[in-house]
């Protein structure tokens, strides 16, 4: 797996997210209250809302457009809604954050 450095943990506010720009669109990288890091496509399965702009609670994010709640762990919509968004592997080495590029490449292929 090809791990690509995207920055450090402190770049992301707790209970917040930052975006990583890729040729295939943005990836949203989340940091939870207890410093776990997750990456998913920045694209709500409902109407494409930018999930990175939502409110982060527990290990979920609420989409800013229509309040779908997406699990950061599985990418799946929680509650009564159905749909899923791609998750991207993340590695944390101390302060440094990496995402797996192969996941990107395999999707491009």
Residues within the interface to another protein (CB under 8 A): 4-7, 11-16, 18-24, 26, 29, 33-34, 47-50, 53-58, 62, 64-65, 67, 69, 99, 101, 104-105
Please, what is the minimum distance in Å from the beta carbon of residue 5 to another protein? 8
- Single out the residue of 82, 81, 86 nearest to residue 100, CA to CA: 86
DSSP 8-state symbol, 76: B
Please, what is the minimum distance in Å from the beta carbon of residue 81 to another protein? 14
Residues 100/3, Cβ–Cβ less than 8 Å: yes
Please, what is the minimum distance in Å from the beta carbon of residue 64 to another protein? 4
Please, what is the minimum distance in Å from the beta carbon of residue 51 to another protein? 10
Q: Which is nearer to another protein, 6 or 85 (CB)?
A: 6
Q: Which residue has the tokens 């800013």?
A: 64
Question: The tokens of 22 are what?
Answer: 């890729």
Phi then psi for residue 56, to 5 deg, are -95, 125
Q: Which is nearer to another protein, 15 or 74 (CB)?
A: 15
The Cα 29–Cα 88 span in angstroms is 9
Q: Which is nearer to another protein, 58 or 83 (CB)?
A: 58
């Amino acid at each position: 797996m090809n791990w690509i450095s995207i920055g450090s943990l402190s770049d992301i506010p707790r209970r917040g997210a930052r975006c990583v720009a890729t040729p295939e669109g943005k990836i949203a990288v989340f940091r939870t209250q207890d410093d776990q890091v997750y990456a998913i496509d920045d694209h709500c399965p409902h109407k494409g809302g930018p999930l990175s702009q939502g409110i982060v609670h527990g290990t979920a994010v609420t989409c800013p457009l229509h309040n779908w709640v997406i699990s950061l762990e599985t990418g799946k919509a929680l509650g009564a809604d159905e749909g899923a968004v791609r998750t991207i592997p993340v590695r944390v080495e101390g302060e440094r954050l990496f995402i797996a590029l192969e996941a990107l490449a395999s999707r491009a292929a």
